[in-house]
Amino acid sequence: MAAREQMAGCERVLAALRGRDVDRLPLITPTSVATVESMTATGVFFPEAHTDPYKMAALAATGHEILGFDTVAPYFSILLEAATLGCTVDWNPVDAMPAIKKNPLQKWEEWRLPPNFLDRQPIKALLTAISLLKKRYGHRVAVVGKVIGPWTLAYHLCGVQNFLLGLVLEPEAVRDLLGRLVAVPLLLAAAEVEAGADVLTWADHATGDLVSATAYREFLLPLHQRAVKALPADVPVILHTCGRVTDRLGYFTQTGFTAFHFDSRNPPAELLILANGRLTLVGGINNPQTLLNGRVAEVKVEVERLLKAGIRLVAPECAVPLRTPNQNLKAVVQAVRDFSRRQR
C-alpha cells in the first residue's frame, strides 16, 4: 500500500472489491449504518427517512459525514420493493425497522411486474436519494445501492411459511414465481446505477437457518447466475445473505457476484478457504454483541481479529441496530485506519 492516502473513497472501495491494490483498506458499509444518534444529530428520523428522498439522502450521508466511512447507503430496510408491490408495511417508530403486516400474494401464478414500478413510491424516493448523494459526493464517496433478490421478495409477498412450504409441495410453482420475481431487482439495479450508484448490494436471504444448500443450488443459483450476466458489468455487486452459509459458499462462488457480505456466525478463516479468491469477503462484525452492546475497546479487538484473519473489507454484518452507539461505529473506522497505517 502507498505511504499516503492517494485514492478517493469511491476509487478505493471499487478497487478493493475487485481485489486490486489500495492506498489503505476501505471503510465500507454494504447495508445501513443509520442510528438514532445520527438521526438526532441531523434532525432526520425514521419513519420519514424511508420514503422522503431528501431525508433519506441526509440520513445516509451521516455514514460518511459523522461516522467516517468511505460509503453512503440510503436504503435502510429491506422492504421498499415489498411496499411498492402491495405488501402492507408498518413503517414503525424512530427506533425500529419496518415490518410487513400483510402479505398480498395469494395466487402465485398471477403475479406480474407492474409496468410503473419505478415510478411508484418509495422506489422513486430511493432513486432520487441516490442521485442526490452522487451529485453531492462525486468520486469522494461510494454510493451503495441495494436491491432485494427474488428469494426474499417471495418471503415478503407470499409469507415465509407459505413460501417454504411451497418448496416441498409445489416446487415448479416456486421455480416459476422466482423466475418472474427476478425481474424486480434487475430493473431496480439498472435504475439505481443510472441514478448514480457505484456499488450494488443484492440481498437474498436463502440462509442456512431456513433452507438447505441443495435448495439454494436447485432454485436460486441459476437465477443468480442469470442475474449477474444481466447486471451492469462495470458495477461491483455484493451478495448479502444472513446466517450460516459455509455449506453453500461454494455455490456462491459460482454466481459471478463480485463479493459476499457475511454474518459473524461464519468463521472468517473457513470462508476465505471456501471463497478461494473467487469472491471478495466483506463484513463479519457482530452487530448485537459487539456494536450494540460492546465497548469501544471490544469493537477494536474484533476488527483487528477479522483483519488479521485476512478480511480486507471489514464491516458490520448487516444493517446495524438503531440504538448502536456512534462511538462504536467510529471505532470500526479508527481500527481499520490504524491497521492500515501499521501495514505500510
Residue 119 lies in a domain: yes
Query: 111: which residues sit within 8 A by CB, 6+ positions away?
Result: 105, 157, 177, 180, 181
pLDDT confidence tier of residue 5, bands split at 50, 70 and 90: confident
Among 218, 82, 226, 91, residue whose Cα is nearest residue 155: 82
pLDDT confidence tier of residue 79, bands split at 50, 70 and 90: very high
Phi, psi of 199 (to 5 degrees): -140, 150
| Model pLDDT for residues 175-223, shown as the tens digit of each residue | 999 999 999 999 999 999 999 999 999 999 999 989 999 999 999 999 9
Residue 304 lies in a domain: yes
Residue 60 lies in a domain: yes
Residue 148 lies in a domain: yes
The fraction of the chain above a pLDDT of 70, given in percent, is 99
Which pLDDT score, from 0 to 100, does residue 4 have?
A: 65
Q: Mean pLDDT over residues 314-324, rounded? A: 98
Residue 4 lies in a domain: no
Which contacts (CB < 8 Å, 24+ apart) does range 171-177 have? 171/219, 173/108, 173/109, 174/108, 174/219, 175/219, 176/108, 176/109, 177/108, 177/109, 177/111, 177/150
Q: Domain count of the chain?
A: 1
- 86 neighbors 111 (Cβ within 8 angstroms): no
Query: Within 43-159, where are the H helices?
Result: 53-65, 80-84, 123-137, 150-158
Which pLDDT score, from 0 to 100, does residue 59 have?
A: 98
Query: 170: which residues sit within 8 A by CB, 6+ positions away?
Result: none
To the question of pTM greater than 0.75 for the whole model, the response is yes
Find the angle CA(32)-CA(154)-CA(17) to the nearest 5 degrees.
40
Residue 1 lies in a domain: no
Place of cell 405488501: 87
Residue 207 lies in a domain: yes
Biggest CA-to-CA distance, the chain: 60
Whether residue 1 has pLDDT greater than 80: no
In a 13 Å sphere around the CA of 159, the CA atoms on its Cβ side amount to 11
Residue 150 lies in a domain: yes
235 DSSP 8-state letter = S
The fraction of the chain above a pLDDT of 90, given in percent, is 96
Which pLDDT score, from 0 to 100, does residue 344 have?
A: 73
253 DSSP 8-state letter = T
260 alpha carbon, distance to own chain's centre: 10
- Measured CA to CA, the distance from residue 28 to residue 137 in angstroms comes to 15
CATH of the domain at 71: 3.20.20.210
| Model pLDDT for residues 118-166, shown as the tens digit of each residue | 999 999 999 999 999 999 999 999 999 999 999 999 999 999 999 999 9
Which pLDDT score, from 0 to 100, does residue 309 have?
A: 97
Q: Mean pLDDT over residues 286-303, rounded? A: 98
Give the structural domain span for 250.
Answer: 9-343
Percent composition of the chain: helix, strand, coil (DSSP 3-state, to 5): 50, 10, 40
| Model pLDDT for residues 24-70, shown as the tens digit of each residue | 999 999 999 999 999 999 999 999 999 999 999 999 999 999 999 99
Give the CA radius of gyration of the chain: 19
